[in-house]
Amino acid sequence: MSLFRPNIDQMQGYVPGEQPQEKDWIKLNTNENPYSHSPRVAEAIEKAARSRLNVYPDPLVKSFREEASKLFNVDPDWILPANGSDENLTILVRSFVDPGEVISYAYPSYVLYESLAEIQGCPCERLLLNEDWSWDLDRVQPQVDKSKLLFVPNPNSPSGTLWDDETLIKLIPPKGILVLDQAYGDFCDSPDKGSLIKGEHGAQVVITRTLSKSYSLAGIRFGFSIAQPDLIAGMRKVKDSYNCNTLSIAAATAAMQDQEWMQKNARRIQVTRERLTLALRLLGFDVQDSQTNFVWATHPKRDHEQLYQELKARRILVRFMKFPDTINGLLTGLRITVGTDTEIDTFLEKLKEII
Amino acid sequence: MSLFRPNIDQMQGYVPGEQPQEKDWIKLNTNENPYSHSPRVAEAIEKAARSRLNVYPDPLVKSFREEASKLFNVDPDWILPANGSDENLTILVRSFVDPGEVISYAYPSYVLYESLAEIQGCPCERLLLNEDWSWDLDRVQPQVDKSKLLFVPNPNSPSGTLWDDETLIKLIPPKGILVLDQAYGDFCDSPDKGSLIKGEHGAQVVITRTLSKSYSLAGIRFGFSIAQPDLIAGMRKVKDSYNCNTLSIAAATAAMQDQEWMQKNARRIQVTRERLTLALRLLGFDVQDSQTNFVWATHPKRDHEQLYQELKARRILVRFMKFPDTINGLLTGLRITVGTDTEIDTFLEKLKEII
């Protein structure tokens, strides 16, 4: 006899990308930044290591909120820090969606949203994107209308594409919340500074951000939500009191203070991204123009899973992705993180051998 | 129009103990360890600060689980690390309790359990303890019988008292889980090594532990559950994939490897605790014999809230606690963390001025 909730028993659990602990892999599978974190971050952590770790962290995380609020030109009470962006997504579900209410999300995108719905005990609807990653707003309207929480990664994964505000406004559920998951926001040509949360629809929009990608800090687990203060205040009741720790707060605050470091790396990644895109096209792949630190590549003639396996045999990891129920049925492809120039050179070299 | 779930709108949110950020307070209010963390922990964090923080942490947290499993003489798959013990409690609620099912807990104890029930949308029942902190098993039996999840801090807060296995076995719900919250377990004269989870009732018992108290690491947010592998595997599906970060994993693993440091501090606290207990009794307080790093003190003639305020005016924080509905109605008292000898001397000196 299982004592677990039936929905927990039935679910598979989200499977994150492979994380080999050996260091000789070229890891292009989980959208990590190939460049190191800022030296100012390392210094801040070292200082914190010798500080009073015997006491609880600041539950309000003031230092970080002040830095983040400057970037978005809002007050600090618009910011809610969390133990990674994933925790923010969990907090959103637990704040806004009663069991039985509908969670929906752009599909194909981040399938973790579906796991969060399963845990909460909610039906989850996929809002099918067109083949070119655009929206058919007429088609999804009935689903938007019944959503309590609607997740849109912008830019999207795995496509790397970006939707404009005009489109996004039409995705706000009449009686619900639109979550713009901007995990990859800093890699855009023109990063968003929170236009929708500040406008007339602001009471129904929450932005989530992470330091994992652009700040090269996947290891410290730090993300934050940005929204109007009423929304943030309610979400704060749901989170654990001390959800961020003294070390990660010190690191995240220092990272925000070194914008130059982050932007320099983002620019390098943008340049490598263009080169990778062109090279893949020359090898016969269809590649989306990307606004992120990865590209989505499909090959009209090759089996994507086999390509993934052959690369893996050469100690190169990319993400083989499989979306069963898109507008055209099964969609498979490779999501390839933009690594360093050396990593991408090696990747392209091995790929040429295989193709 | 609020878009939050009604239960979230209605709840107040858990209020943690005061955390002044200035350093000239004597903080005896949140049961932090007054002694510093192990130098080996600081070294491990410093090393991690220069490591590859751009990549995600080990989602399985193998290094820590191996160390923790040795201490309890179990396999690593009996261990589930979390972002503080509070996250473990959240994971337990989300794993086992469907909205509408009953959560219950020893009362008076840790009122956070009640906030977790509110968030999940569950009725929460208080299992009233006798005035001397013992159980009337006949009285609580009907409540135990209908519980899906039953929380018992052992040793308990605020009383500092410990219940034996024979009593605890009777608190296992027939169709539910007993959670033994052993946050203060290392301060006992004979710390538990998991006797109940290994015995015939093990399929229905989960132990939670934290590094916040005995390991002087409240700042890093690290706790873990110990239970039979089937239970741990199900709970793992509910947690975020990367709920512990590279820095806290390094710190926690190093802390477990330096048992001598933890035990030396625990012994110092035990000695100071006895002295504090005697001194308070001489000042006319009723004080429970404590198995933790705090004592519960009540004064037959003085107003506890006023005592708290007068100490606060002298920059000494203790925890004024108020439990409205105990077996004898309203219970108030002071929960006083065992600080250093110097802190306790100052505290007693100021208290004498006030009394």
Residue-wise pLDDT tens digits, B132-146? 999 999 999 999 999
Number of domains in chain A: 2
Those of residues 60-79 in B touching chain A at CB distance below 8 A are 62
B53·A234 Cβ contact <8 A: no
Does residue A204 share a domain with residue A92? yes
Does residue A102 share a domain with residue A68? yes
In chain B, % of residues over pLDDT 90: 95
Q: Is B222 exposed, middle or buried (0-12, 13-18, 19+ CB in 10 A)?
A: buried
Residues of chain B contacting A23 with CB distance shorter than 8 Å = 52
Residue-wise pLDDT tens digits, A9-61? 999 888 877 878 777 899 999 999 999 999 999 999 999 999 999 999 999 99
The size of the A-B interface in CB pairs under 8 A is 243
Cβ of residue A10 closer than 8 Å to a chain B Cβ? no
Q: Is B22 exposed, middle or buried (0-12, 13-18, 19+ CB in 10 A)?
A: exposed
Task: State the Cα–Cα distance between residues A108 and A156, nearest whole angstrom.
Answer: 9
B244·A221 Cβ contact <8 A: yes
Can you give the pLDDT at residue A1? 79
Does residue A22 share a domain with residue A50? no
Q: Domain ends where: B229, B257, B285?
A: B257
Does residue B164 share a domain with residue B283? no
Does residue B44 share a domain with residue B27? no
Can you give the pLDDT at residue B15? 80
Residue B17 confidence (pLDDT) above 80: no
Task: State the Cα–Cα distance between residues B57 and A220, nearest whole angstrom.
Answer: 8
Residue B16 confidence (pLDDT) above 80: no
Residues of chain A contacting B21 with CB distance shorter than 8 Å = 58, 62
Q: Show the domain range for B51.
A: 39-257
Residues of chain A contacting B245 with CB distance shorter than 8 Å = 83-84, 219-221, 245, 247-248
Among B23, B58, B238, select the one facing A119 at the smallest CB separation.
B238
A248·B251 Cβ contact <8 A: no
Cβ of residue B340 closer than 8 Å to a chain A Cβ? no
Does residue B125 share a domain with residue B69? yes
Q: Domain for residue B46, yes or no? A: yes
Q: Which of B239, B263, B229, B315 is nearest to B83 (CA)?
A: B239
Per-residue confidence band for B23, with pLDDT thresholds at 50, 70 and 90: confident
Q: Domain for residue A252, yes or no? A: yes
Among A32, A98, A245, select the one facing B56 at the smallest CB separation.
A32
Q: Within 10 Å of residue B135's Cβ, how many Cβ atoms?
A: 19
Does residue B177 share a domain with residue B246? yes
Residue B1 confidence (pLDDT) above 90: no
Q: Domain for residue B1, yes or no? A: no
Q: Domain for residue A8, yes or no? A: no
Cβ of residue B11 closer than 8 Å to a chain A Cβ? yes
Cβ of residue A30 closer than 8 Å to a chain B Cβ? yes
Can you give the pLDDT at residue B183? 98
Does residue B98 share a domain with residue B164? yes
Eight-class DSSP state of A153: E
- Alpha carbons within 13 angstroms on the beta-carbon side of residue B101 total 22
Task: State the Cα–Cα distance between residues B264 and B292, nearest whole angstrom.
Answer: 15
Does residue B268 share a domain with residue B243? no
Nearest CA in chain B to A8: B95
A84·B240 Cβ contact <8 A: yes
Q: Domain ends where: A235, A257, A279?
A: A257
Residues of chain A contacting B251 with CB distance shorter than 8 Å = 53, 247
Q: How far is B176 from chain A (nearest CA, A)?
A: 6
Interface test with A, best of B245, B249, B338 (most A CBs within 10 A): B245
| Structure tokens given for A131 | 């083949």
Residue-wise pLDDT tens digits, A120-151? 999 999 999 999 999 999 999 999 999 999 99
Residue-wise pLDDT tens digits, A188-231? 999 999 999 999 999 999 999 999 999 999 999 999 999 999 99
CATH number of the domain encompassing residue B349: 3.90.1150.10
Q: Which of B44, B109, B262 is nearest to A54 (CA)?
A: B262
CATH number of the domain encompassing residue A52: 3.40.640.10
ipTM, two decimals: 0.96
B8·A238 Cβ contact <8 A: yes
Can you give the pLDDT at residue B208? 98
Cβ of residue B51 closer than 8 Å to a chain A Cβ? yes
Can you give the pLDDT at residue B242? 95
Per-residue confidence band for A316, with pLDDT thresholds at 50, 70 and 90: very high
Amino acid identity for residue B217 in this structure:
L
Q: Domain for residue B341, yes or no? A: yes
Q: Summarize the confidence of residues A261-283 as an average pLDDT.
A: 98
Mean pLDDT across chain B, nearest whole number? Answer: 96
Residue B80 confidence (pLDDT) above 90: yes
Cβ of residue A2 closer than 8 Å to a chain B Cβ? yes
Cβ of residue A177 closer than 8 Å to a chain B Cβ? yes
Cβ of residue A280 closer than 8 Å to a chain B Cβ? no
Q: Domain ends where: A203, A228, A257?
A: A257
Q: Is A98 exposed, middle or buried (0-12, 13-18, 19+ CB in 10 A)?
A: middle
Residues of chain B contacting A175 with CB distance shorter than 8 Å = 1, 3
Nearest CA in chain B to A262: B54
